């Protein structure tokens, strides 16, 4: 056994759950289990519940470690998932996959006698473009007699309602609801969905009250019913118990129908948008200015010429790079790229980031790396003959030759964008090189020099 000094354990500032808390130690991601929760934690392993959700790719690999510490009765180790993606960076398909993940885990949990205490968006991460639920402390033994799903209301407000609004084309409204602790409350959703609720508030209130009461009865345990009976009198207690049995027996509560919600989520979709439907006429000037500012802090290490879209897999396969982060401003392009790389055996994290308007800056998200317009390479990699340290990034600049909305190759008329690319070429003395890492052809045709410029850059 390896003893971890208490002084080297950093407890998170947020509220830890009753099971314990997660901390990092010398490259290990560990969860310390409080002494009074050891039996519950071991139950995840012994029941087969944890083994099943890990085997089905719903939860990171987890095992009982050889570490110990005086304040914990047990220390569990989790597979380290990097890089971290936040819900504000998800596209529609990622949110949909996360919703399906939660419903799958809830149904498996029922089979083993587990319920959940929450399901907020911070508990879901993506690895190899597939969602994983990462909070072991969310799972608790289901109370005897309860038939519902405790975090059902949170699921609706954090996932289902937002997906439904997004599927109708209100993407900006939906993305405003994607902050980790922001939800779309039921009243706003019903007003958005139903004209009858807008013109007749009593109907709105009645719908909300009925659903709330049904879910409360479905979640009521035998113990709660007994307490209620003693507190308010035998008559009302008997009525509550009888109502509970009717609701649970006939499955009247929405929280009992997770399979139905899986089917509804599965049917949600966005209209197909061609990846190159938007040309660079509307290139975000704020993005260009941000890149210009940060390019002044770096120097070119290597330059590669490659066709757009064919680089990612080749770089990972032919170098020691383990993970890539693909950052797209175009929502539809981010979604299609995410779906494409789900089928691959390498880890590419696709996120939809807006740099302007108060969005997350890439340099803040990845403080160890430099900013990139489309692609960031994580620390500890080497490409071809070049080997670099921690302050590195790979930047992909779009071609001066772009596809117009008529899908014809034309020269961009965005003067500022053209000047920016040419300025980078002059400043860094760009020489287009073929390193042998990248297949410089697509569709049987050769790409001319200058159509796509890939810069591998490092801090001065």
What tens digit of pLDDT does each residue of 55-70 get?
999 999 999 999 999 9
Percent pLDDT > 70 in the chain is 57
For residue 212, the model assigns a pLDDT of 82
Examine the pLDDT at 435 and tell me if it is beyond 70: no
Tell me if residue 414 falls in helix, strand or coil. Answer: coil
Q: Comparing 102-111, 145-154, 291-300, 365-374, which segment has the lowest mean pLDDT?
A: 365-374
Mean pLDDT of 240-261: 77
Helices (H), 83-194: 92-111, 152-155, 161-167, 171-176, 186-193
| pLDDT band, residue 256 (cuts 50/70/90) | confident
Residue 142 dihedral angles phi and psi, to the nearest 5°: -65, 140
Q: Which residues contact 15 (CB under 8 A, 6 or more apart)?
A: none
Residue 349 dihedral angles phi and psi, to the nearest 5°: -95, 110
Q: Comparing 179-188, 330-339, 373-382, which segment has the lowest mean pLDDT?
A: 373-382
For 96-144, the pLDDT digits (tens) are 999 999 999 999 999 999 999 999 999 999 988 899 999 999 999 998 8
DSSP category for residue 36: G
CA distances from residue 28 to 78, 140, 296 in whole angstroms, order as listed: 8, 25, 36
User: Which residue, chain included where needed, has tokens 């399906």?
Assistant: 100
Q: Are 74 and 33 in contact (CB under 8 A)?
A: yes
| Tokens coding 338 | 């995410």
| Tokens coding 122 | 């911070």
Q: How far apart are alpha carbons 102 and 215 in whole angstroms?
A: 18
Q: How far apart are the first and last CA of the chain?
A: 43
| Tokens coding 400 | 């001066």
Counts for the chain of helices (H) and strands (E), in that order: 17, 22
Tell me the Cα Rg of the chain: 26
| Tokens coding 61 | 């690999």
For residue 146, the model assigns a pLDDT of 84
Count of CA atoms in the C-beta half-sphere (13 A) of 318: 14
| pLDDT band, residue 296 (cuts 50/70/90) | low
Examine the pLDDT at 204 and tell me if it is beyond 70: yes
Q: How far apart are alpha carbons 366 and 369 in whole angstroms?
A: 6
For residue 76, the model assigns a pLDDT of 96
Q: Which of 207, 456, 454 is nearest to 307 (CA)?
A: 454
Residue-wise burial string across 379-395, b where 16 or more C-beta atoms lie within 10 A, e elsewhere: eebebbeeebeebbbbb
Examine the pLDDT at 164 and tell me if it is beyond 90: yes
User: Which residue, chain included where needed, has tokens 């340290």?
Assistant: 389
Examine the pLDDT at 276 and tell me if it is beyond 50: no
Q: Are 332 and 277 in contact (CB under 8 A)?
A: yes
Tell me if residue 370 falls in helix, strand or coil. Answer: coil
Tell me if residue 292 falls in helix, strand or coil. Answer: helix
DSSP category for residue 37: G
User: Which residue, chain included where needed, has tokens 């790389």?
Assistant: 341
Q: How far apart are alpha carbons 167 and 161 in whole angstroms?
A: 10
DSSP category for residue 47: T
| Tokens coding 144 | 């005897």
Q: What is the mean pLDDT of the chain?
A: 72
Most confident range, picked from 9-13, 204-208, 282-286, 311-315: 204-208
For residue 12, the model assigns a pLDDT of 75
- Pairing of β 114-116 and β 130-133: unpaired
Q: Which of 126, 74, 139, 70 is nearest to 98 (CA)?
A: 126
Q: Which residues contact 151 (CB under 8 A, 6 or more apart)?
A: 116, 117, 118, 119
């Amino acid at each position: 056994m390896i003893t971890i000094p208490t002084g080297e354990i950093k407890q998170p500032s947020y509220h830890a759950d009753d099971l314990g808390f997660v901390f990092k130690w010398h490259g290990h991601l560990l969860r310390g289990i409080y002494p009074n929760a050891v039996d519950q934690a071991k139950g995840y392993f012994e029941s087969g519940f944890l083994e099943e959700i890990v085997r089905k790719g719903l939860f990171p690999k987890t095992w009982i470690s050889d570490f110990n510490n005086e304040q914990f009765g047990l220390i569990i180790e989790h597979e380290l998932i990097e890089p971290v993606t936040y819900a504000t960076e998800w596209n529609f398909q990622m949110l949909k996959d996360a919703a399906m993940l939660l419903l799958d885990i809830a149904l498996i949990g029922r089979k083993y006698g587990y319920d959940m205490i929450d399901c907020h968006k911070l508990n879901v991460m993506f690895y190899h473009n597939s969602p994983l639920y990462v909070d072991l402390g969310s799972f608790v033994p289901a109370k005897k007699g309860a038939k519902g799903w405790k975090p059902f209301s949170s699921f609706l407000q954090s996932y289902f309602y937002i997906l439904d609004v997004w599927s109708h084309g209100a993407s900006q409204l939906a993305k405003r609801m994607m902050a980790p602790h922001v939800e779309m409350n039921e009243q706003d959703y019903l007003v958005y969905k139903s004209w009858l609720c807008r013109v007749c508030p009593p109907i709105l209130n009645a719908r909300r009250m009925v659903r709330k009461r049904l879910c409360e009865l479905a979640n009521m345990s035998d113990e709660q019913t007994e307490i209620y009976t003693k507190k308010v009198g035998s008559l009302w207690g008997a009525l509550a118990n009888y109502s509970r049995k009717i609701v649970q027996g006939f499955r009247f509560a929405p929280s009992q129908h997770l399979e139905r919600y899986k089917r509804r989520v599965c049917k949600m979709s966005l209209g197909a948008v061609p990846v190159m439907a938007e040309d660079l006429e509307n290139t975000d000037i704020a993005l260009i200015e941000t890149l210009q500012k940060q390019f002044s802090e770096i120097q070119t290490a290597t330059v590669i010429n490659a066709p757009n879209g064919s680089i990612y897999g080749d770089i990972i396969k032919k170098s020691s790079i383990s993970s890539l982060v693909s950052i797209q401003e175009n929502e539809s392009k981010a979604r299609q790229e995410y779906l494409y790389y789900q089928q691959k055996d390498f880890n590419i994290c696709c996120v939809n980031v807006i740099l302007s308007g108060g969005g997350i800056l890439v340099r803040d998200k990845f403080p160890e790396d430099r900013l990139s317009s489309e692609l960031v390479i994580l620390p500890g990699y080497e490409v071809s003959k070049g080997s670099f340290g921690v302050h590195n990034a790979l930047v992909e600049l779009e071609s001066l030759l772009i596809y117009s909305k008529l899908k014809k190759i034309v020269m961009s008329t965005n003067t500022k964008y053209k000047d920016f690319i040419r300025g980078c070429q002059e400043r860094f003395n760009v020489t287009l090189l073929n390193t042998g890492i990248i297949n410089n052809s697509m569709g049987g045709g050769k790409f001319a020099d200058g159509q796509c410029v890939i810069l591998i850059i490092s801090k001065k």
